[in-house]
Amino acid sequence: MASASVFQDEFCCSICLDLLTDPVNVTCGHSFCLKCITGCWDQADHKGVYSCPQCRETFTPRPVLRRSTLLADVVEKLRKIEVQSDHTAPSNAGPDDVECDFCTGRKHKAIKSCLTCMGSYCEVHIQSHYQVACLKKHKLVNASPRLQEKICSQHHRIIEVFCRTDQKLICMLCSMDGHNGHKTVSAIAERTEKQKKLLEMKRDNQMWIQQKEKEVQKVKGALKSLQASAKKAVEDTERIFTELISFMEKKHSEVKESIRAQEKAEVSRAEGLLKQLEQEIAKLKNKDAKMEQLQPIEDPIDFLQSFRSHLTSSSVAKNLPKITFNPQFSFSNMMKSVSPSLNEKTKQFLQDIFKVTGFMKGDTVRLKYPETVGSYLHCNSRH
């Protein structure tokens, strides 16, 4: 990449100062872009004298320009190298990236950190650690922003030992100083051991997850069954009470019709009695009027003759049939005997239904969970 940038200037057009495009050779040996040299010489047509823009050699007449195939191939390869260089160039460090410690000016993103040098390097500056023999032995890790945490604050050495006695990361000097006689292993060995425990913990945790997921499915199934049962119970209850209400309304209508029929019969009978009584009263009043007429007659013969002809039926009033009708007739007595009985029997009937179905006031319908789920909910309900 460096060599390409060094030689790139040799293949630039001296007119546009960019890589040659459609390069052509002039008689003097210099090369230019076809478009650049053509435009330059078009301006000199009125003079009839044409010169090289680089060495100022003049030509008459206007030279014929020929495309340089060799230069065109070389320039095309340089363009490809330039594109590849742009893609592989180190990227600038962002707010969350580790910066390269060796970049000047704009910091590039570090890709590796060296625990020996205690520095971070971008793609360009890390190359020395891959190429120089003494640097190849350094310990490289992925770029880390916490390099100081990997160094012992007491001895300023790399932390690479784990003290199992104190459960603490230490350096080699610590293992021979304050941790002398303790059970120590390398950090790599301890990581391997912890990785095994981690896998076991993860496996156990996965088993618990699977078990709890099964219990969740059981609870969901029981809940779904409960909801379906409740829905059916509501529908059945709606149907039963609709039929019961319809039956009660029908009987209500029948009772009203019976009362109205009995009322009509009693009214008709009472009206007949009233008519009969009114007729008998009219007869009695007529007789009373006749007796009023006889009372003032003084002639014995006339009195006796009139009394005999007009009042021979005086005994009729004594022989009138006795009319029987209860003036205090009322349906209240019937309702007093029917209403309490009907109310009590209806209430008792409904209570019997609720006793059978288990829906007495204050009762609670509980969802029967699987035994494992029930014990789990019971334990967690204490928290």
Dump pLDDT digits (tens) for 218-272.
Answer: 999 999 999 999 999 999 989 988 998 999 899 889 988 988 998 899 899 889 9
Segment 361-381 mean pLDDT: 45
- The pLDDT assigned to 88 comes to 52
Is 95 within a domain? no
Cα separation, 101 vs 107, in Å, equals 8
| Model confidence at 291: pLDDT above 50 | yes
User: Is residue 203 domain-shared with residue 320, that is, in the same domain?
Assistant: yes
By mean pLDDT, which of 51-60, 118-127, 240-249, 303-312 is the weakest? 303-312
- The pLDDT assigned to 84 comes to 56
Domain count, the chain: 2
- The pLDDT assigned to 313 comes to 54
Query: Sign of torsion, CA 158 132 123 94?
Result: positive
- The pLDDT assigned to 29 comes to 85
| Model confidence at 314: pLDDT above 60 | no
> 331 falls in which pLDDT band (50, 70, 90)?
low
User: Is residue 63 domain-shared with residue 204, that is, in the same domain?
Assistant: no
> Tens digit of pLDDT for each residue in 108-122?
899 998 888 888 999
User: Is residue 230 domain-shared with residue 362, that is, in the same domain?
Assistant: yes
> 370 falls in which pLDDT band (50, 70, 90)?
very low
> 379 falls in which pLDDT band (50, 70, 90)?
very low
| CATH number of the domain that residue 40 is part of | 3.30.40.10
Main-chain dihedrals φ then ψ at residue 282, nearest 5 degrees: -60, -40
> 85 falls in which pLDDT band (50, 70, 90)?
low
- H helical segments located in 96-170: 127-131, 133-136
Q: Which among 38, 66, 88 is the end of a domain?
A: 88
User: Is residue 229 domain-shared with residue 342, that is, in the same domain?
Assistant: yes
381 token code pair: 């309900």
| Model confidence at 130: pLDDT above 70 | yes
User: Is residue 75 domain-shared with residue 213, that is, in the same domain?
Assistant: no
User: Is residue 212 domain-shared with residue 349, that is, in the same domain?
Assistant: yes
> Tens digit of pLDDT for each residue in 353-365?
666 555 544 454 4
Is 152 within a domain? no
Segment 197-219 mean pLDDT: 95
- The pLDDT assigned to 154 comes to 87
Is 153 within a domain? no
Q: Which among 67, 88, 109 is the end of a domain?
A: 88
- The pLDDT assigned to 131 comes to 87
Give me the domain span that covers residue 310. 190-380
User: Is residue 84 domain-shared with residue 196, that is, in the same domain?
Assistant: no
Specify the DSSP element, H or E, that contains 241.
helix 187-294
User: Is residue 60 domain-shared with residue 202, that is, in the same domain?
Assistant: no
- What are the residues whose beta carbons fall under 8 Å from the beta carbon of 189, sequence distance 6 or more? 162
More confident residue, 348 or 112: 112
Is 367 within a domain? yes
Segment 328-343 mean pLDDT: 64
> 106 falls in which pLDDT band (50, 70, 90)?
confident
Q: Is 26 exposed, middle or buried (0-12, 13-18, 19+ CB in 10 A)?
A: buried
Mean pLDDT, the chain, whole residue set: 80
304 token code pair: 């006796």
Across 93-97, 124-128, 156-160, 324-328, the highest mean pLDDT is recorded for: 124-128
Is 48 within a domain? yes
User: Is residue 218 domain-shared with residue 366, that is, in the same domain?
Assistant: yes
- The pLDDT assigned to 9 comes to 60
> 8 falls in which pLDDT band (50, 70, 90)?
low
**Are the C-beta atoms of 13 and 36 separated by less than 8 Å?**
yes
Q: Which residues of 205-231 are buried (b: 16+ CB within 10 A; e: fewer)?
A: eeeeeeeeeebeeebeeeeeeeeeeee
146 token code pair: 């916490």
| Nearest of 172, 171, 167 to residue 193 by alpha carbon | 167
User: Is residue 195 domain-shared with residue 67, that is, in the same domain?
Assistant: no
Q: Which among 88, 114, 149 is the end of a domain?
A: 88
| Model confidence at 344: pLDDT above 80 | no
More confident residue, 5 or 101: 101
More confident residue, 327 or 94: 94
- The pLDDT assigned to 356 comes to 55
> Tens digit of pLDDT for each residue in 163-200?
999 999 999 899 988 898 899 999 889 999 999 999 99
| Model confidence at 19: pLDDT above 50 | yes
User: Is residue 79 domain-shared with residue 214, that is, in the same domain?
Assistant: no
- The pLDDT assigned to 298 comes to 86
| Model confidence at 319: pLDDT above 80 | no
Is 103 within a domain? no
Segment 38-59 mean pLDDT: 86
Segment 17-33 mean pLDDT: 87
Give percent of the chain with pLDDT exceeding 90. 25
User: Is residue 59 domain-shared with residue 202, that is, in the same domain?
Assistant: no
Is 205 within a domain? yes
Is 20 within a domain? yes
**Are the C-beta atoms of 219 and 369 separated by less than 8 Å?**
yes
